[in-house]
Structure 1
């Protein structure tokens, strides 16, 4: 998502692990094998090697290559996006230091019990999404340091309890689920050190009350993606370490399926991420989940966000709304006295009223972009003395908002993509603007071809008559 405060935003097949890939690459840079360039690649063509990595992805392979022994340490093996059906006995025994193994997007049905022989003490990341496996591979249970397992997209019927018991002390990240999966694997309860759980394509309407049994102490990230669930279980409240709840493209989950009781007593929930849901507003959970600091929504048809949803003693600090149906500036924002960052992209908001940021003394970043915004009240930013960044790009504004005057820490005002009219009548007030010594708004004059706001400010504003100054 990136293992930085559970802000997982990856784009690879395992959402929360793209950042781990980056960490691995950084690790290679910090601990280089000085002789690696002189060591022959242990994999035959069409595979190739790059530093510590063996790349066999998308090579039309139908079987695992015969790896030869090498004096070097090849930690990374990628066999994804081929047509491999079986992983044979001791397939990787000649790969010294195997740390990351990617088998995703093949046709794998069988993995020999000793397929991972030789990697028992080194393998940490094993990704096998979108294959044809019907059970958790026994070979996994031999791994002594595995921390991440991606098996989503496999029609797994047998979640071997003994295998999960064997890796329970080290496994932290798990992705599972496949289209049509209609049961909850009871053996997950053995994974008591799990910190991240992503459930995908689950076909159940309701989760059992015991779904999170065993996960209460350490589970920090819980994600439901493309699942058919109709509600979140009340047992959500038992997850003492839950930091991020992510809901993504679950078609049957409505606002009525998110009971406030499920959040009662939650002590650590920091962030809720809502993507491609059918909600027309934000779930009414914040009176019971006072620890939430971050709300992120994308592709969800939110039309309103009323102040009644937010308690006075909230701790909300970061709000990001992308691709909504908001037509009015949300009244709830002004109740977030700890707000630091507000981002609203691709909305239908036409005006920012004088009360929009009333009392928000801590906000440092405001972005209202790609909206039909035509007015921005001169008084809207009167309380935001700590504001540093204001992004109003791609709106219908025709002038620079006078609201930016009197903000001592303002460093950037972005008005790109607007049709700003540059005349003394509209911008002459900048002659006495108290921020003019250190920052000029970014953008262009719509009525003057090839003239930027900075250029107009520099060449024209000083000659404007004083009657255009700020009153």
Structure 2
């Protein structure tokens, strides 16, 4: 229960933490004396029921309510009076229904919502009532389709996250979102790329959805399908932790894409994807944690805007002497935890290079290292890594010991 001391200080209290108290029930007028309360944390309890008038007195003050990790089976009607509620977290509750009045009062105020839908067999229409939601996170959806009009009221959407759903394709319901937003898909293992990963929009839709960024993490993708071709205005794409993804075709990467950041971390590429040459606006490329063994002469052709490339944690053994000729703006390279045993001479043509990582790569330092290294490292901002066979930093060996070698 809320202590007398707390009640006597009600004017000054704006936030209250009631975590891990084993509450099972919130009675009428529980917070009534705290009429300036803005934030309530009630997660990690055992709450099964919330009285209809539990939040009476907070109609004009409460903006944040966290009810995650409880035992609620329905979205409670007590929410209906919270006309200024902006953030609502209902995750990790066995919710299987909405009280018909629950969202009546908050449909215009809620900006951020998180909820598990694992016990729903179809899309809950109550979610479509939200008019100003900007961030929504849905987890454990057990249905595989969403009505085309499900998101049409979400005109202020900025971020949409789907975790652990059974969706097999990205629904055309997104076509009816009237704002530009970020789409995050985490561990939706039913997603498998066929001809079209994103459902095409109906002719009645005003346009394709506009994404700032798309993240697909932990799916079963074998191909990237129509992700890039469908959304050429997208600037950020991350496809990570897909153990079946090891190839990208030229047809999947059109040359009209605005992509500037591409993250392909922890997939199964065993060579540099040639199709990436079709991305002339690309500035940052992450291919870390793949199986790439070599960087060939023409791999970076066309990437004239590339500033950073991350090849960390690949079994990289060979870098062609001409590998960086086209990447004239390249300033940051990651060769950390590779199988390289020498500093590639190709780096001498990367005239904008400022930072390079060799940490945990078995670089052998000896007088056989070419004289160009001395002049090259002088203009380098930061060189990270150690000599495998010497107890010294790479840059120290190049600047202090290499000059003593005779050639």
Tell me, yes or no, whether TM beats 0.5: yes
- Residues 166 and 191 in structure 2, CA contact (< 8 A), matched pair in contact too: yes
Deviation track 1:352-385 (CA, whole Å, cap 9, x = no partner) reads: 1122221222222211111111112221211222
| Equivalent of 1:124 in 63, 69, 92 | 63
- Count of matched residue pairs: 402
| Matched position secondary structure for 2:105 | helix
Tell me the distance in 2 between the aligned counterparts of 1:458 and 1:113. 74
| Equivalent of 1:461 in 376, 379, 402 | 402
**Is 1:446 aligned to 2:388, yes or no?**
yes
| Matched position secondary structure for 2:373 | helix
Deviation track 1:75-94 (CA, whole Å, cap 9, x = no partner) reads: 33232344211112222234
> Which residue is equivalent to 1:147?
86
| Equivalent of 2:178 in 227, 240, 262 | 240
**Greater relative CO, 1 or 2 (CA 8 Å, sep 6+):** 2
> Which residue is equivalent to 1:80?
19
1:272-283 alignment, distance < 5 Å: 272-283=214-225
Larger deviation, residues 245-254 vs 372-381:
245-254
* Alpha-carbon shift at residue 339 of structure 1 (Å): 0.8
1:289-300 alignment, distance < 5 Å: 289-300=231-242
Gap runs ≥5 in structure 1 = 1-41, 45-64
| Equivalent of 1:309 in 249, 252, 260 | 252
> Which residue is equivalent to 1:318?
261
Q: 1:76–1:408: structure 2 CA closer, same or farther, 3 Å change rule?
A: farther
Deviation track 1:104-144 (CA, whole Å, cap 9, x = no partner) reads: 23221111222223332222121212322232222222122
* Alpha-carbon shift at residue 262 of structure 1 (Å): 4.5
Q: 1:190–1:267: structure 2 CA closer, same or farther, 3 Å change rule?
A: closer
- Residues 422 and 456 in structure 1, CA contact (< 8 A), matched pair in contact too: yes
Gap runs ≥5 in structure 2 = none
| Matched position secondary structure for 1:462 | helix
Tell me the distance in 2 between the aligned counterparts of 1:143 and 1:261. 38
**Is 1:103 aligned to 2:46, yes or no?**
no
RMSD (Å) for aligned C-alpha atoms = 2.4
> Which residue is equivalent to 1:57?
none
> Which residue is equivalent to 2:353?
410
- Residues 161 and 190 in structure 1, CA contact (< 8 A), matched pair in contact too: no
* Alpha-carbon shift at residue 260 of structure 1 (Å): 4.7
Larger deviation, residues 317-326 vs 89-98:
89-98
- Residues 70 and 94 in structure 1, CA contact (< 8 A), matched pair in contact too: no
Tell me the distance in 1 between the aligned counterparts of 2:240 and 2:15. 33
> Which residue is equivalent to 2:296?
353
Tell me the distance in 1 between the aligned counterparts of 2:61 and 2:335. 50
Tell me the distance in 2 between the aligned counterparts of 1:446 and 1:85. 60
Normalised by the size of structure 2, how large is the TM-score? 0.91
Tell me the distance in 2 between the aligned counterparts of 1:77 and 1:195. 25
- Residues 148 and 176 in structure 2, CA contact (< 8 A), matched pair in contact too: no
- Residues 319 and 344 in structure 2, CA contact (< 8 A), matched pair in contact too: yes
- Residues 171 and 199 in structure 2, CA contact (< 8 A), matched pair in contact too: no
Deviation track 1:196-227 (CA, whole Å, cap 9, x = no partner) reads: 22211111122223322322x22232222111
Tell me the distance in 1 between the aligned counterparts of 2:12 and 2:250. 58
| Equivalent of 2:163 in 221, 225, 230 | 225
Q: 1:236–1:118: structure 2 CA closer, same or farther, 3 Å change rule?
A: same
> Which residue is equivalent to 2:373?
430
* Alpha-carbon shift at residue 236 of structure 1 (Å): 1.8
* Alpha-carbon shift at residue 97 of structure 1 (Å): 3.3
1:184-223 alignment, distance < 5 Å: 184-215=123-154, 217-223=155-161
Tell me the distance in 2 between the aligned counterparts of 1:397 and 1:254. 35
Deviation track 1:385-410 (CA, whole Å, cap 9, x = no partner) reads: 22221111010011112222243432
Q: 1:93–1:408: structure 2 CA closer, same or farther, 3 Å change rule?
A: farther
* Alpha-carbon shift at residue 187 of structure 1 (Å): 1.8
- Residues 355 and 380 in structure 2, CA contact (< 8 A), matched pair in contact too: no
Tell me the distance in 2 between the aligned counterparts of 1:366 and 1:322. 12
| Matched position secondary structure for 1:193 | coil
- Residues 192 and 222 in structure 2, CA contact (< 8 A), matched pair in contact too: no
| Matched position secondary structure for 2:62 | coil
**Is 1:90 aligned to 2:29, yes or no?**
yes
**Is 1:134 aligned to 2:69, yes or no?**
no
| Matched position secondary structure for 1:141 | helix
Tell me the distance in 2 between the aligned counterparts of 1:161 and 1:214. 18
- Residues 260 and 288 in structure 1, CA contact (< 8 A), matched pair in contact too: no
Tell me the distance in 2 between the aligned counterparts of 1:463 and 1:161. 82
